[in-house]
Amino acid sequence: MTRLLIDVGNTRVKWALVEDHVGVPRWDGAVDAGWLASGAVLHAALPTLEPVWRETGASAAVIAHVAGAAMRARLEQVLGALPGLRLSWFASVAAAAGVRNGYRDPAQLGCDRFATLIGARALFPQQELIVATCGTATTIDALDADGNFIGGMILPGLGLMATALARNTAQLPHIGQQIVAPPLFADHTDAAIVSGCLNAQAGAIERALAARPGARCLLSGGAAAWIAPMLTVPNTLVDNLVLLGLQAATTRPPC
C-alpha cells in the first residue's frame, strides 16, 4: 500500500509517494527517504496534479495544510476526484512521533512547523536542534535532545522583508529574485537592502543558536540556500522537512 504525503505551503504544493512501511532513515550526509515519486507546483498549477496523483494509485493521503480555506477547498476538489483515496489532515497535538509540543496551546502551533520538527527529530534523534525554515515566513524553532519542543520565533521571510521595504519606503527599489550576497556594508541601495535582509535572517538564527549552545542548526525552505552562506556557525541544509515529518508520523510497520 502507498500513501501520498502532501505539504501545502503559502506558495507551493509539495508531494511525495511512499510505501506505508518505509520510515525516515537517520541522516547520513543526505536524505534517501525511499520515495517512489515526488514533485512540487505553484498553487495555480494544482489542477495539473490530479492526473499525476491518479497514476500513483495511492490508497491514502496525509496532508499538512497552512494555505487558508480557499486553497483547502481547491485541494479537496482535486483529491475528491481520485477514487477510494482516504484523506487525513495532519494537525498539531500535544505529542507525536517522539516530539512533545511545548506550545501553551499545542493546537496553535502550525501543523507545518510540527511536521518539520518531527522530520528533524527522525533524521537526527537524540540531538538538540535549532530548525530554521526559510520560506514566505522564517520560523526558528528549538528542540532539545529529548524531543521537547521548547518554542520558537516567527519573522518575515527574506522576500517579505525586501518587499515590505520597497512598498513602504517610496525611494527604495524593489529587489528581484536574483539575490547575490553583497558585502556587509554595501555601497549602493539595492545591495544595502539585500545585505540588511540577509543579515537580519542570519542574525536571528545565530541568536537562537547562542541561546542553545551545542545545538545543531538545520536550514530548510526556499530561501535557505541564500541564508546559509551568511551564517558564521556550522549548518545543515535539509529539503522537504514537512514531508519527512509526515512520513515519520504516519509510517506503519510491515504486516
The CATH code of the domain that includes 173 is: 3.30.420.40
Residues 221 and 162 in one domain: yes
| Domain enclosing residue 162, as ranges | 124-242
Residues 38 and 87 in one domain: yes
130 contacts 209 by C-beta, under 8 angstroms: yes
Residues 54 and 152 in one domain: no
- Which pLDDT belongs to residue 181? 67
- Which pLDDT belongs to residue 174? 52
- Which pLDDT belongs to residue 119? 97
Residues 211 and 160 in one domain: yes
Catalogue the active-site residues: 112
**Segment-wise mean pLDDT, segments of 10 residues, the chain, 255 residues:** 95 95 90 94 96 95 96 96 94 96 96 97 97 94 97 92 70 53 76 86 96 96 91 94 96 68
Residues 81 and 133 in one domain: no
Q: How many domains does the chain have?
A: 2
Residues 148 and 235 in one domain: yes
Residues 86 and 130 in one domain: no
- Which pLDDT belongs to residue 252? 75
- Which pLDDT belongs to residue 168? 57
- Which pLDDT belongs to residue 112? 96
pTM: 0.91
- Which pLDDT belongs to residue 194? 82
